[in-house]
Amino acid sequence: MIIEKITDYKWRIPKSNFPFMRVDGIIYADETLIEAIKSDKTIEQIANTASLPGIVGYSLGMPDAHQGYGFAIGGVAAVDLKEGVVSPGGIGYDINCGVRLLATDLEFDDVKSKIEELVKQLFHEIPSGTGRGGDLKLSYAELDEVMKLGIDWAIQNKFARPEDKDFIEEYGRLPNANPDMVSNKAKERGRDQLGTLGSGNHFAEVQIVQEIFDEETAKSFGLHKNQIVVLIHTGSRGLGHQVCTDYLKEMDTAMKNYGIKVPDRELACVPIDSKEGKRYLQAMASAANFAFNNRQLITYNVRNVFKRLFKTDKVRIVYDVCHNIAKIEEHEIYGKKLKVLVHRKGATRAFPKGHPALPEVYRNIGQPVIIPGSMGTYSYVLVGTEKAMEETFGSTCHGAGRTLSRHKAKKMMSADEAVSKLRERGVFIQATTKSGITEEIPEAYKNVSQVVEVVHQAGISTKVAKLKPIGVIKG
């Protein structure tokens, strides 16, 4: 396959590579990362995504891109609202997997003598692990309310402060949610999973703000050096996974009825305005609203631990962003404003200052972009840019991106070795299982600092702060 270098941080997959490509593919990467991206089917998947009916602009890949289901993880595709399709593979199994950054009024010196106790208490309060449920078991009627109301459900039930919603993407609620479009099997899987981390690459980390790159923006986000922050990374758990499973199966059959052919059946899709498309988007919004509440209940428990241990109730949300979602947005494409459905799978929204979707407090600054690293490595806070709006439908990377399979990672070192290495870096870890540690060792991932440097140099989001973990909670 022909891949052309455009700049030091940008590569093109010309649509002349395959007759089915409707647009070019564009990948953001440096020389090292493009080689890592070439090592699996990522480039092929970005090219395949360019075949979607109604796709506009480019099929995009971020520097953390790696092979996924249908779409590459780290992929972005926008489709015309009238002529385009929706593809569950372009959102992923973990609908509204995302990250939330909490800032405290504490500094490292305030907590250093109690780090182990803090991590132990957080681990006790935040259920973690595959299929693990929490203390809250909802009735179907209550679960429907969670999915319909989004974060307003948590506010009504005293799990959130009224001001929390101002610091969550879409104010914590996708409006077109319809729980009737979510199967009973999906609901049964999710009923007891609010406030739980799950497994895989999900985590909660206690971190220190180690470095500030942009003083003014950091101050606007309420961040300063040596401050203690908490990063939460999880999504819609079994409920979202089942929604994706249900609709992939339905669309695999239905797309034949619409005369749609794609080069990979994992790209199963239907027209946005078809009955299947509308049903999926309503179910996806329901799962997304569940995920906002999931991160909110974890926030509630984090606040309780900090209040108990440090007598502070000053634990506020900096921002909460999705990185597996599809949303209707307006973008300038081919010189005119167009309403499109933007699929972001392993990609983060990065809107610039002045954008009406941003909360008032950040409107003149730009959107906070939260980028988690691999376990025990750095995470970053970035800010959205105008260039992202021009080039990537207001999108940027979402994390480090895997380079090793979980199977290979487990063979690299034992859980005890991994824990010992983390302790040498000053990171205390609590995990549900040994495999939860070995599958997620930092060596299984790309270098997050390199990934962030690419998007910073490319101008599709810029660096604000670097966060160093001191405590990790894993499934």
pLDDT, tens only, 232-266? 999 999 999 999 999 999 999 999 999 999 999 99
Task: Count CB neighbours of 82 within 10 A.
Answer: 12
Domains in the chain and their CATH numbers?
Answer: 4-474 (3.90.1860.10)
The residue behind tokens 């140099």 is 457
Given the residues 233, 241, 331, 398, the one annotated as active site: 398
Using DSSP's 3-state secondary structure scheme, residue 79 falls into strand
The residue behind tokens 């730009």 is 366
Bridge partners for 5 per DSSP: 11
What span, in angstroms and rounded, lies between the C-alpha atoms of 145 and 142? 5
402: DSSP letter: B
The residue behind tokens 């105008």 is 386
Identify each DSSP E strand in 41-137 by its residue range. 55-66, 73-80, 85-86, 98-107
Give, in order, the Cα–Cα distances in Å from 313 to each of 10, 117, 293, 304, 306: 45, 18, 20, 8, 7
Backbone CA torsion sign across 247, 253, 255, 257: negative
The radius of gyration computed from the CA coordinates of the chain, to the nearest angstrom, equals 21
pLDDT per residue, tens digit, the chain (475 aa), is 999 999 999 999 999 999 999 999 999 999 999 999 999 999 999 999 999 999 999 999 999 999 999 999 999 999 999 999 999 999 999 999 999 999 999 999 999 999 999 999 999 999 777 767 777 899 999 999 999 999 999 999 999 999 999 999 999 999 999 999 999 999 999 999 999 998 878 999 999 999 999 999 999 999 999 999 999 999 999 999 999 999 999 999 999 999 999 999 999 999 999 999 999 999 999 999 999 999 999 999 999 999 999 999 999 999 999 999 999 999 999 899 999 999 999 999 999 999 999 999 999 999 999 999 987 789 999 999 999 999 999 999 999 877 777 778 888 888 888 888 888 888 889 888 888 788 888 788 879 999 999 999 999 999 999 999 999 998 7
What span, in angstroms and rounded, lies between the C-alpha atoms of 33 and 36? 5
Look at residues 115, 123, 99 and name the one whose alpha carbon lies nearest to residue 474.
Answer: 123
Residue-by-residue DSSP string for 352-371: PTT-TTS-GGGTTT--EEEE
Q: How many C-alpha atoms does 360 have within 13 Å on its Cβ side?
A: 1
What span, in angstroms and rounded, lies between the C-alpha atoms of 137 and 378? 35
Question: Is residue 202 annotated as a catalytic residue, yes or no?
Answer: no
Q: Which amino acid would we find at residue 50?
A: A
Give, in order, the Cα–Cα distances in Å from 155 to each of 149, 455, 464: 10, 35, 30
Residue-by-residue DSSP string for 188-227: HHHTT-TT---STT-EEEEEEEEEES-HHHHHHTT--TTE
- The model's pLDDT over 281-329, given as tens digits with 9 standing for 90+, comes to 999 999 999 999 999 999 999 999 999 999 999 999 999 999 999 999 9
Identify each DSSP E strand in 323-460 by its residue range. 324-333, 336-345, 348-349, 368-371, 379-383, 395-396, 428-431
Buried b or exposed e, range 216-251, using 16+ CB within 10 angstroms: ebbebbbbeeebbbbbbbbbbbbbbbbbbebbbebb
